[in-house]
Structure 1
Amino acid sequence: MDTYGRITGPRLATLLGSWRHGSRQGALALAGAIELQVLDGHLPVGTQLPAERELAQALGVSRTLIGAALDRLREGGLVASRRGAGSWITLPGKAGESGPIFPGESENIDLVCAAPAAIPGFVQAVDVARRGLAEQLGHPGYSERGLQVLRERLAQRYTERGLPTSPAQIMITNGAHHAFGLALRMLSDPGDRVLVDQPTYPNALEAIRGAHAIPVPVALDTEGWDFDGIEAALRQAGPRLAYLIVDFHNPTGLRMDDDGRARLAALLTRARTPVVIDETLVELDFGSEPAPKPFAAGDWSILVGSASKAYWGGLRLGWIRASEELLSRLSSARFGLDLGSPVFEQLVLAELLTDPEPLRRRREDIRRQRDALADAVRRHCPEWTFRTPEGGFWLWCKLPEPMSTRLAVAAAAHGVQLAPGSRFGANGGLERWIRLPFSRLPDVLDEAMRRIALAAESARGGEAFAPVT
């Protein structure tokens, strides 16, 4: 796709591959091939298709065949068309409601939820998992630590990243947030303190408060972690647990290097403080530099991961990597919450882990979206500053004045939902900062920033700053 959510003729021809264009039923075969790409996630809903002439030239067929194939797809509800707007991918029963992905003024753009659509190849993985389900149906379906095949593949991932791991050190959970909840349940009591970054993931703060524990924030600066501050907090506050994000931090996008990880591990080990390391974003590494090894601080390191950002938020699975002794304790804590994770979803994730190509393409797409958002911020809001992350899903933008909450309110009036900086602070604040996820397509991000610039003008109550042309 190009930067506006439109797939070019040559790109679509490459995706379709060999689709029997020489057969008598060429239009039917072409329609079927396009439908397969839609179902497999390669052509997301809203993707604008090339013009008939362009596609005919790319495929080496007549425009008559292209028109007949599009007619069949329109009849099936997979394609919608409008004069002057072309044709785009839709869903059955939604042809009148969908359109090209460029949003109109009346459409709302959600920049609070930082999650992409399902990864291409997801439906294929579901089909393979469905065939493997028969083997599981003769068993009760309960597994406190998860299916062996999935634990083996996750353990292999950790080993390949430089942290030798066995399947016995892996537990499957219902997401990384569920995994953190288990650790809180096991390792903290009401009134205990939990060390966190400032800023940090808002739902982690809610989980800490929900456990009647007290977050103890240590501020990050624009360059990284304050290890002296962490050491002081460990010594003075005596936290029972720490929750940290060291890979493409939410919301700053920072990544801790190997030296920093070694220093942090030494501090936590000396203080005998267990730590939950949230690795939800670790797979979204754009690869410009060698990746640091996974964090390790003895037997009290709990690494939690998730399928939500790398594969799909609807695949509600995560995992814990910890010592066998610690996993035994976590298993006991789990019985009060749930009895295991769903089997079929585990089979799907196990299949997704076998093919690195869709994840590689996802990284490329997200990197293009990052660049598109960065460019849009510079053009529409040139007074804002940010550090370009090497992975993850967001820009952490510094505003020209303390206005984050006002901006979020004003942006809502312009059809853009934003999370103000205060949501990421243990005690509010952070009014000079706003998080902008780049999990949407480039043209949507550009439209969002156009609206946000208008909202910023009203939030500041002063003179507008002119977009850069």
Structure 2
Amino acid sequence: MDAPRWSALLSGWRACGGPLYGRLAEALRAGIRSGQLPPSEALPAERALAELLGVSRSTVVAAYDALADGGWVIRKRGSGTWVAATAPRGANVLALRTPSALPLGGDEFDFTIAVPLLNDAQRREMQAAAQDAFQESLYHPHGLPDLRAVLAELYTREGLPTTPEAVLITSGAQGAISLLTGVFLRPRDRALLETPTYFGAIDAFRAAGAETVGVPVTAQGVEPAAFARAVQHHSPRLAFLTPTFQNPTGTVMPPDARARVAATVAESDLPTIEDDTLIDLGFETGAPPRIATFAPDAPIFNVGSLSKLYWAGLRVGWLRVSATHSGPVGQARTLSDFGSSLPGQHIALQLLQALPRLRQERREAVTMARDLLAELLRRHLPEWQFTVPGGGQFLWVELPTRQTSAFTLCAARYGVRLFPGASMGVALPAEGLPDSFLRLPFTLDPAQLPEAVLRLKAAWEEFSLRQGVDRLA
């Protein structure tokens, strides 16, 4: 059973009224109606689903029987349960790894999305920065020229010579990743990613119909030899790497490893996305040179944004395009939406003029929250293991269980939203990522962290007691 997928699909199954089996049956009906559970798809084994949801096996049996009575599923002793061919069918919907941004309840804490908190001074700063946005009425399909020039100068200053023509403005970093996915991937192509990695890249590649192949992340990021072997054996059409404060592990690839990866990319002519969105969030030291610095003519596409540094709602990202691919990528950018919002771009232009200050302010805020979260976890959940990262905005936490997806459902009953780390895993040739990890961002209001961790502790105590025990409905 793909536990992370089913935990996401059934995350709100208890919200309806009535007996538990009826709530579960209705949640599964909703999955069938929406197209997330297509005809002939097998449902999980009764005992496995019961363990995931923290209910008795009899609850799952009753839910499946109710679905069978209504013609939604077919049940056959010894063969399992699957969606009936005659059940209502919606358009196929991808089961996204990306957490859905549902409205928070008044007493909930959300550890699924990492976004910076805005203060009043920053709100005033953005309002002032937008004043020049209304002086013209033009399309800029590739982005505001002044903004592209500032970003090109920034890349050049940091060791990667860049012209304004090589920079495209997108709707956030996700827009850049999706743009490149559309240019380079076709159904049944192979895409190479780190494992674990950013769930938005996994979803974009899967939505394109590509087969994803994982390269393990070590304590120093992806090993160059493993990357080279994967390129040789799998012949991918696109690769995705986050060498600096990797999401979610926080690891940093050393300069010599970056040079070797760059050499592989250049030799294989493999289009490779280098995700720089966390590059400004180093706590102690600066980031090593970008991979693209070691092979400036290779097909390496650098992606950045202000979402992690300043505010996710700004939705301004950018893409540095290699000269060889500027034509097709630029055309695809023009076709997507004729250009990003001018007010957002003008705000970004003004903010980038004060980049050193923005970096310092963000580092100070994130460092305090990181240290507080780490201290609270060590005090209240000492059996949870993690390494404090030198940058980024996540703790990659290993739990002493292989049922972390089930724990996220337990924690939800305590008002804490969690994202199972296995959802960020990419299948290796032999195995996937163990269901033993959580990605915990330290971007919550620090004043909320003590209560949030106490709830995690209470949920963990309940979950630990119930593991392996048949539960009553």
Q: TM-score, normalised by structure 2?
A: 0.72
What is the aligned partner in structure 1 of residue 400 from structure 2? 400
1:421–1:435 contact (8 Å) kept in structure 2: yes
Once the 2 structures are TM-superposed, how far is the Cα of residue 130 of structure 1 from its aligned partner? Answer: 3.7
Once the 2 structures are TM-superposed, how far is the Cα of residue 237 of structure 1 from its aligned partner? Answer: 0.5
1:258 aligns with one of 255, 259, 275: 255
Q: Secondary structure at the match of 1:277?
A: strand
338-347 or 214-223, which moves further after superposition? 214-223
What is the aligned partner in structure 2 of residue 353 from structure 1? 352
Once the 2 structures are TM-superposed, how far is the Cα of residue 131 of structure 1 from its aligned partner? Answer: 3.1
What is the aligned partner in structure 2 of residue 213 from structure 1? 210
167-176 or 422-431, which moves further after superposition? 422-431
What is the aligned partner in structure 2 of residue 84 from structure 1? none
Code of the residue aligned with 2:459 in structure 1: it is A
What is the aligned partner in structure 1 of residue 341 from structure 2? 342
1:416–1:448 contact (8 Å) kept in structure 2: yes
Q: What are the residue-to-residue correspondences of 1:45-444 with 2, within 5 Å?
A: 107-118=107-118, 121-136=121-136, 139-140=137-138, 142-286=139-283, 288-296=284-292, 297=295, 298-355=297-354, 356-427=356-427, 429-444=433-448
Structure 1, gaps ≥5 residues long? 1-104, 464-469
Once the 2 structures are TM-superposed, how far is the Cα of residue 337 of structure 1 from its aligned partner? Answer: 2.3
Q: How far apart are the structure 1 equivalents of 2:252 and 2:168?
A: 25
Higher relative contact order (CA 8 A, sep 6+): 2
Once the 2 structures are TM-superposed, how far is the Cα of residue 451 of structure 1 from its aligned partner? Answer: 1.0
Q: Secondary structure at the match of 1:388?
A: coil
Code of the residue aligned with 1:444 in structure 2: it is Q
User: CA separation of 1:214/1:120 partners in 2, compared to 1, >3 Å: closer, same or farther?
Assistant: farther
220-229 or 316-325, which moves further after superposition? 220-229
Q: Secondary structure at the match of 1:337?
A: helix
User: CA separation of 1:232/1:157 partners in 2, compared to 1, >3 Å: closer, same or farther?
Assistant: same
248-257 or 152-161, which moves further after superposition? 152-161
Q: How far apart are the structure 2 equivalents of 1:171 and 1:119?
A: 29
1:396–1:433 contact (8 Å) kept in structure 2: yes
Once the 2 structures are TM-superposed, how far is the Cα of residue 325 of structure 1 from its aligned partner? Answer: 3.7
Code of the residue aligned with 1:184 in structure 2: it is T
What is the aligned partner in structure 2 of residue 45 from structure 1? none
Once the 2 structures are TM-superposed, how far is the Cα of residue 171 of structure 1 from its aligned partner? Answer: 0.6
2:192–2:214 contact (8 Å) kept in structure 1: yes
1:158–1:294 contact (8 Å) kept in structure 2: no
User: CA separation of 1:187/1:439 partners in 2, compared to 1, >3 Å: closer, same or farther?
Assistant: same
User: CA separation of 1:173/1:246 partners in 2, compared to 1, >3 Å: closer, same or farther?
Assistant: same
What is the aligned partner in structure 1 of residue 452 from structure 2? 448
Once the 2 structures are TM-superposed, how far is the Cα of residue 120 of structure 1 from its aligned partner? Answer: 6.3
Q: How far apart are the structure 2 equivalents of 1:385 and 1:164?
A: 41
Code of the residue aligned with 1:144 in structure 2: it is P
The number of residues matched between the two structures is 355
1:299–1:322 contact (8 Å) kept in structure 2: no
Q: How far apart are the structure 2 equivalents of 1:423 and 1:457?
A: 23
Q: How far apart are the structure 2 equivalents of 1:203 and 1:254?
A: 19
Alignment RMSD: 1.9
1:2-39 CA-partner distances (Å, limit 9, x unpaired): xxxxxxxxxxxxxxxxxxxxxxxxxxxxxxxxxxxxxx
Once the 2 structures are TM-superposed, how far is the Cα of residue 433 of structure 1 from its aligned partner? Answer: 1.0
What percent of counterpart residues are identical?
37
Q: How far apart are the structure 2 equivalents of 1:444 and 1:127?
A: 28
User: CA separation of 1:278/1:223 partners in 2, compared to 1, >3 Å: closer, same or farther?
Assistant: closer
2:179–2:333 contact (8 Å) kept in structure 1: yes
Code of the residue aligned with 1:260 in structure 2: it is A
1:346-384 CA-partner distances (Å, limit 9, x unpaired): 000101111232431121010110001110110111011
Code of the residue aligned with 2:289 in structure 1: it is K
Runs of 4+ in 1 over 4 A off after TM superposition: none
Once the 2 structures are TM-superposed, how far is the Cα of residue 462 of structure 1 from its aligned partner? Answer: 6.3
Q: TM-score, normalised by structure 1?
A: 0.72
User: CA separation of 1:210/1:182 partners in 2, compared to 1, >3 Å: closer, same or farther?
Assistant: same
What is the aligned partner in structure 2 of residue 460 from structure 1? 464
Q: How far apart are the structure 1 equivalents of 2:422 and 2:379?
A: 25
User: CA separation of 1:416/1:327 partners in 2, compared to 1, >3 Å: closer, same or farther?
Assistant: same
1:316-362 CA-partner distances (Å, limit 9, x unpaired): 11000122342222121224422111111100010111123243112
Q: Secondary structure at the match of 2:463?
A: helix
Once the 2 structures are TM-superposed, how far is the Cα of residue 396 of structure 1 from its aligned partner? Answer: 0.2
1:176–1:304 contact (8 Å) kept in structure 2: yes
2:190–2:238 contact (8 Å) kept in structure 1: yes
What is the aligned partner in structure 1 of residue 56 from structure 2? none
2:275–2:304 contact (8 Å) kept in structure 1: yes
1:297-320 CA-partner distances (Å, limit 9, x unpaired): 333010011111111011011000
Code of the residue aligned with 2:250 in structure 1: it is G
